[in-house]
Amino acid sequence: MLKYDYHCHSTISDGTLTPSQLVLQAHHQKVKSLAITDHDDIGSWQEAKKTSENVGIYLISGVEISTTWHKKTIHILGYGFDPENQQFINNLADIRQLRNQRAIIIDQILREKGIVNAIQGAQKIAQRHEPLSRTHFARFLIMNGYCKNFAEAMNKFLADSILSEKVNKWVSINTAIDWINNAGGVAFLAHPLRYRFPPEFELIDLIKDFIKAGGDGIEVVYAKNSSRQIEYIADIARRYNLSASGGSDFHTDDNTMNGIEIGDIAPIPKNLRSLSQILEKTIN
Ligand code: AMP
Ligand code: MN
Ligand code: MN
Ligand code: MN
């Protein structure tokens, strides 16, 4: 199987490489098939497409949409949509407005804890006014000595549980899937093993709702998940007839996050329908 990566981030969201640098890095790592999946934004497309044509990488359009399911943030990956679909572009811009509102609230919450100018600090790190990710705030907190590492920043200051009562909800899973489908794409459930559910819910409830909403596939291979973890999700994919994708969730090579290299992931397990197979079908 050719080297692939269907989940990574550029400076358009919370990555540290520009779209072009990201494609070049993927090429350097011998990745042949790539999707850039920025949070709620497909603004990398034109630049990334140009660079990928120059180096001979097959680029699939991608996005990672923030949704809310029973008060939990769930990420839905979209692939193979028309990146020039104006309605889709507008819909994603609406989600980024929610990000902008949330950034102001995060700034207030941090201020109450004695941490001032967090939004300005996060903006400087993102090198723009908006949109901001919690990642940018986490980097600000680490750089200014408020916490030691990314996990601590997320847990101590930026956790869903700290923000949930104060910030607006993202869109529903159904809405995100409809947006992706209406732009001609397919929807995949991102990193199923990263969610922590309250006692009344399990992963399987989410997967059933995702399928009911029209979801196509699941991220079977994720970052540094073990072969047992991969096989666990692969079994679910087979049982529920979901297609399979995989990605590193690469954000940066500066070692502040999970320290993974782009394309450094396991192949998609056998006896599964892969993302590339279903996209070929839609094109032909
Ligand atoms: P946001 O989308 O602005 O809410 O920012 C959340 C981002 O923080 C995610 O997209 C990841 O990049 C990062 N993140 C949060 N929790 C984790 C985690 N447990 N492991 C790795 N990255 C995480
Ligand atoms: Mn991220
Ligand atoms: Mn995610
Ligand atoms: Mn991601």
pLDDT (tens place) for every residue of the chain, 284 residues total: 799 999 999 999 999 999 999 999 999 999 999 999 999 999 999 999 999 999 999 999 999 999 999 989 999 999 999 999 999 999 999 999 999 999 999 999 999 999 999 999 999 999 999 999 999 999 999 999 999 999 999 999 999 889 988 999 999 999 999 999 999 999 999 999 999 998 999 999 999 999 999 999 999 999 999 999 999 999 999 999 999 999 999 999 887 676 899 999 999 999 999 999 999 876 54
Instruction: Quote the pLDDT of residue 12.
Output: 98
Residue type, 94: D
Give the integer Cα–Cα distance in Å for 182 and 173.
14
- Residue 244's closest CA among 264, 217, 267? 217
Q: What pLDDT, on a 0 to 100 scale, did the predictor assign at position 282? A: 66
* Distance in Å, CA 13 to ligand 4 centroid: 10
What pLDDT score was predicted for residue 284? 45
The pLDDT, as a whole number, for residue 259 is: 82
Residue 65 CB–ligand 1 contact under 6 Å = no
- Name which residue sits closest to atom 3 of ligand 1, judged by CA: 133
Rounded to the nearest angstrom, the distance between the alpha carbon of 261 and the centre of ligand 2 is 15
As a whole number of angstroms, the distance between CA 220 and CA 267 comes to 10
Residue 122: CB within 6 Å of ligand 1?
A: no
Work out which ligand 1 atom sits closest to the CA atom of 40.
2
Closest residue by Cα to residue 44 from 27, 65, 22, 66: 22
Q: Which residues pair with 8 in a beta bridge?
A: 250
Q: Which atom of ligand 1 is nearest to the CA of 9?
A: 12
248 ligand 1 Cβ < 6 A: no
* 135 CA: nearest ligand 1 atom: 8
* Residue 133 Cβ contacting ligand 1 at under 6 Å: yes
Q: Which protein residue has the closest C-alpha to ligand 1 atom 18?
A: 151
Question: Residue 20: its pLDDT value, please?
Answer: 98
Helix (H), strand (E) at residue 217: strand 217-222
- Residues that place a CB less than 5 A from ion ligand 2: 14
Separation of CA 250 and ligand 4 centre (Å): 7
What's the 134 CA to ligand 1 centre distance in angstroms? 7
Q: Which residues pair with 250 in a beta bridge?
A: 8
Residue with CA at minimum distance from ligand 1 atom 2: 133
Specify the pairing of strand 62-69 against strand 72-79.
antiparallel
Ligand with smallest separation from the Cα of 258: 1
φ, ψ of residue 241 to 5 degrees: the values are 55, 40
Which of 135, 167, 194, 260 most suits a substitution to test ligand 1, by most atoms within 8 Å of the C-beta?
Answer: 135
Q: Name the 3-class secondary structure at 152.
A: helix
Check if 183 has its Cβ closer than 6 Å to any atom of ligand 1.
Answer: no
Indicate which ligand has the atom closest to the C-alpha of 189. 3
14 Cβ inside 6 Å of ligand 1: yes
